[in-house]
Structure 1
């Protein structure tokens, strides 16, 4: 499939989606958000894809925010619609995919860029990465889930400070805060993410999808995460992956999961 603002490539079980607007520091506009939705949808439906990595083109930015020129003249109603649609088709969509998504944060991840990274299941940063939510410096607040996911990841106090100061943190602080899982040099960022992806791909894709569902349930209002876990645990017993995994364990061999 051909895209104007992103690249999507597949190799050995991994689909890598790259935001490709380097002259705009990979800023998100409506078209890019729509293309990202489509690329993630296609990758998630592809049985050959077991892990998705998302990154930005060039060596300066993962995604340096939203394209402000698109909404500078919006009314309140239009702004709310922009946030609602963006959350639905991209940020919440990514968070709830059954295919694991790793954000390879290569440089600036600001505003909508950090919100994109936080929607992924976990994050790896290059050592030159800078992250922040600068929206209040523009007279607005994060609208793509930033006020919700940042406190979940780093705690309320640190999130409040980052949002209210509109400041950036570097990769080391992001690691200390728990915002990213690992730091590596930029030249090795994708290969490092691929090495983690290869570890993930040794395991049952069905069970991983169920685990994502159960973990996410803990952060949903009026949802009993323990009950979701119980039901997902039970559902695993009816899968071919469970039969293969337990048989392989008892037979002392490597499992070959069918993904069903």
Structure 2
């Protein structure tokens, strides 16, 4: 089994689930139609993120960062839309081995956080910016490792070719947006770690992948922590009724 992270002293997959949100509605796929997303970001509802920060467990100086939430649009069938995710390389200094969005620290040369997200996605997985249409940003999310992260929502057109940088990522995969925007797949965990009571979401996804030799293997992608929290906030942004 692939480690969730090589820097944690516990395995988050072993932490019991105390709730699954079966009682909450899923986001209708019509809400992630490109025109609907553009309208929602142009006229946002009256809402606030469900999770804004994690308990701090780092002495490093805060750093601004941005991630791209790449929504791959598979033609006219919105049910086929996916989110592109990565598994960070095991040797990375922070969040190693974890499922993540493409992204990283803001460089002084970046015009804004959108430029950071697009640059990092190109550097990490080879996703060229001309395949990405940015439609908006979610509020900043503060990680326990002192990153102030702006999630940037981008619509990815088909026809792109990925060239993962294996110095930064071990794997690139896609998860159906319908899976991620259904709270029946959102599991809540609670754990006391390093003197702090920490709660988080997980969204484990089973992928059936065809290997080069033709064999089909099942891979579990354990989406949790900051990545799951930002997806949960995106869910809240999409499911809430528009402001009058």
TM class, shorter-chain normalised?
A: under 0.3
Alignment TM-score, normalising by the size of structure 2: 0.27
Q: Which has the higher helix share?
A: 1
TM-score (norm 1): 0.26
Decide which structure has greater strand share: 2
Q: Which structure ranks higher in relative contact order (CA pairs < 8 Å, sequence separation ≥ 6)?
A: 2
